[in-house]
Chains A and B, each alone.
Chain A
Amino acid sequence: MIVAVVVVAIVVVAVIVGLILRGRTSADGVDSFRRQIDALSPEARRPTVDQVKNVERPADDDDEGS
């Protein structure tokens, strides 16, 4: 009897933990996608793209691909 109760309790706990983790994973997915899209916005990119001012180009091979 006690064994059955313990097994049921373990199963219930496992299901609850599983549901929580699943919810968190999908929330994490939404958050990380949002963070990625935000980091790709023109406003976020402006400081990096503006750093091209510091570029020093090679004098003799500036038609070459990179």
Chain B
Amino acid sequence: MARDLAIDLGTANTLVYMKGRGIVLNEPSVIALNRQTGEVLATGREAWQMIGRTPGYIVAVRPLRGGAITDFEITERMIRLLLQRVGVSRFTRPKVVICVPSAITEVERRAVTDAARRAGAADANLIEQPMAAAIGADLPIDEPVGNMVIDIGGGTSETAVISLGGIVALEAVRVGSFDIDAAIQNYVRREHGIAIGERTAEEIKVAIGSADPTHDENQAEVRGRDLMTGLPKTVILTPEEVRSAIEDVVSSIVSSVIRCLSKAPPELSQDFLVRGMYLVGGGGLLRGLAERIERETEVPVRMSNVPLEAVVLGAGHVIEHYEALKGMFMGARR
């Protein structure tokens, strides 16, 4: 008998929670394929290490962008391989709950559930990421009080107000930490005339990226390919430069939080001043982001204890209490 699964199918990472066992898989959402034969060469961490470093016949791709499936066939193969790795076979078909961005379209919804069913799930249901995040972050969403959760992922940023187990207000933008990486890449190309890969851009973000000035700021040496000469070149990047490069993305995230706050009923709004807002998702780890949101909204921002795992833990809780919580699936209450 298969153990039921919860999957956080993220743009950056895929996490799998197995009923009764906890989190059993946490890997980058990347798959490496042989371009000529279509054969899968690697998935997860192994494939992630190949990004931008492959010979011509290998392609390492992220099949999800902005929280949506961009390549249905590759996503299905990736899910199938991930499920195989956690013990799913054609004879053991589990029920699966998948976390998805709340703003996905009906077509995208069907694409995700179809991919999971074809990959070996007996039944596939979807749950909104902010709802799962609020459950996983241990917020008191069973009470009639305002709980606000900001989930900043690789491709989407979602803010939700939750009370009594339901979403009261929601705001989502298809902007996330990958857009921050892309903004850094574009800035370095435009201002310093060198080309860098997405992994290097990510390393710059982790090393010196910030949304607000911080007290421990250092410069970073960046190595790339000179666009004029084609030769390797090193430049120095300052935290101020990176902040200005990513300002548009950060502003867009902060604006969506403000829009969500303005949608919340007044009775719940007053709760935020006391209880604060909770930041989850890998993008929320950007230095100074919590402070920036707090400064612009005048509402305290707290980091979840489990920012990277909150979503899958929330979905895992739903799979543990499937019968009681099946009313929370997307489509069940509409």
| Chain B residue at minimal CB-CB distance from A45 | B317
Q: In the complex the two chains form, is A65's CB within 8 Å of B23's CB?
A: no
Q: Which of A3-11, A16-24, A34-42 contacts B (4 or more CB under 8 A)?
A: A34-42
Contact of A36 with B327 at beta-carbon distance under 8 Å, contacts A61-B202, A64-B177 already known: yes
* Chain B residues with CB below 8 A from A64, complex form: 12-13, 28, 154, 177, 202, 282
Q: How many angstroms from the CA of A56 to the CA of B26 in the assembled complex?
A: 7
Q: In the complex the two chains form, is B23's CB within 8 Å of A54's CB?
A: yes
Contact of A48 with B316 at beta-carbon distance under 8 Å, contacts A40-B135, A62-B282 already known: yes
The answer to whether the Cβ of A55 comes within 8 Å of any Cβ in the partner chain is yes
Q: In the complex the two chains form, is A66's CB within 8 Å of B153's CB?
A: yes
Contact of A63 with B138 at beta-carbon distance under 8 Å, contacts A35-B324, A37-B164, A51-B22 already known: no
The answer to whether the Cβ of A49 comes within 8 Å of any Cβ in the partner chain is yes
Q: In the complex the two chains form, is A37's CB within 8 Å of B165's CB?
A: yes
* Chain B residues with CB below 8 A from A58, complex form: 13, 26-28, 45, 48
* Chain B residues with CB below 8 A from A1, complex form: none
The answer to whether the Cβ of B63 comes within 8 Å of any Cβ in the partner chain is no
Q: How many angstroms from the CA of A15 to the CA of B70 in the assembled complex?
A: 53
The answer to whether the Cβ of A52 comes within 8 Å of any Cβ in the partner chain is yes
Q: How many angstroms from the CA of A66 to the CA of B133 in the assembled complex?
A: 11
User: In this complex, which of B155, B284, B286, B308 has the most chain A Cβ atoms within 10 angstroms of its Cβ?
Assistant: B308
The answer to whether the Cβ of B328 comes within 8 Å of any Cβ in the partner chain is yes
The answer to whether the Cβ of A25 comes within 8 Å of any Cβ in the partner chain is no
Q: Smallest CB–CB gap between B215 and chain A, Å?
A: 19
Q: In the complex the two chains form, is B23's CB within 8 Å of A38's CB?
A: no
**Contact residues on A (Cβ < 8 Å of other chain), bracket:** 20 to 34
Contact of A49 with B136 at beta-carbon distance under 8 Å, contacts A58-B45, A66-B15, A66-B308 already known: yes
Q: In the complex the two chains form, is A65's CB within 8 Å of B155's CB?
A: yes
Q: How many angstroms from the CA of A56 to the CA of B15 in the assembled complex?
A: 10
Q: How many angstroms from the CA of A39 to the CA of B316 in the assembled complex?
A: 12
Q: In the complex the two chains form, is A39's CB within 8 Å of B324's CB?
A: yes
Q: How many angstroms from the CA of A41 to the CA of B154 in the assembled complex?
A: 29
Q: In the complex the two chains form, is A66's CB within 8 Å of B154's CB?
A: yes
Q: In the complex the two chains form, is A51's CB within 8 Å of B316's CB?
A: yes
Q: In the complex the two chains form, is A66's CB within 8 Å of B313's CB?
A: no
Q: How many angstroms from the CA of A48 to the CA of B306 in the assembled complex?
A: 12
Q: In the complex the two chains form, is B23's CB within 8 Å of A52's CB?
A: yes
Q: In the complex the two chains form, is B23's CB within 8 Å of A51's CB?
A: yes
* Chain B residues with CB below 8 A from A49, complex form: 136, 138, 306, 313, 317
Q: In the complex the two chains form, is A45's CB within 8 Å of B205's CB?
A: no
Q: How many angstroms from the CA of A52 to the CA of B283 in the assembled complex?
A: 19
Known pairs A56-B26, A58-B27, A65-B153; list 17 more (Cβ under 8 Å).
A36-B324, A38-B142, A39-B324, A40-B135, A44-B321, A51-B17, A51-B313, A52-B23, A54-B23, A57-B26, A57-B308, A63-B205, A65-B10, A66-B12, A66-B154, A66-B282, A66-B312
A residues near B (Cβ < 8 Å) are 32, 35-42, 44-45, 47-49, 51-58, 60-66
**Can you spell out 27 A-B residue pairs with CB atoms less than 8 angstroms apart?**
A32-B327, A35-B324, A40-B135, A41-B142, A44-B317, A44-B321, A45-B135, A48-B313, A51-B21, A52-B23, A52-B309, A55-B306, A58-B26, A60-B48, A61-B202, A63-B202, A63-B285, A63-B286, A64-B12, A64-B154, A65-B11, A65-B13, A65-B153, A65-B155, A65-B176, A65-B283, A66-B311
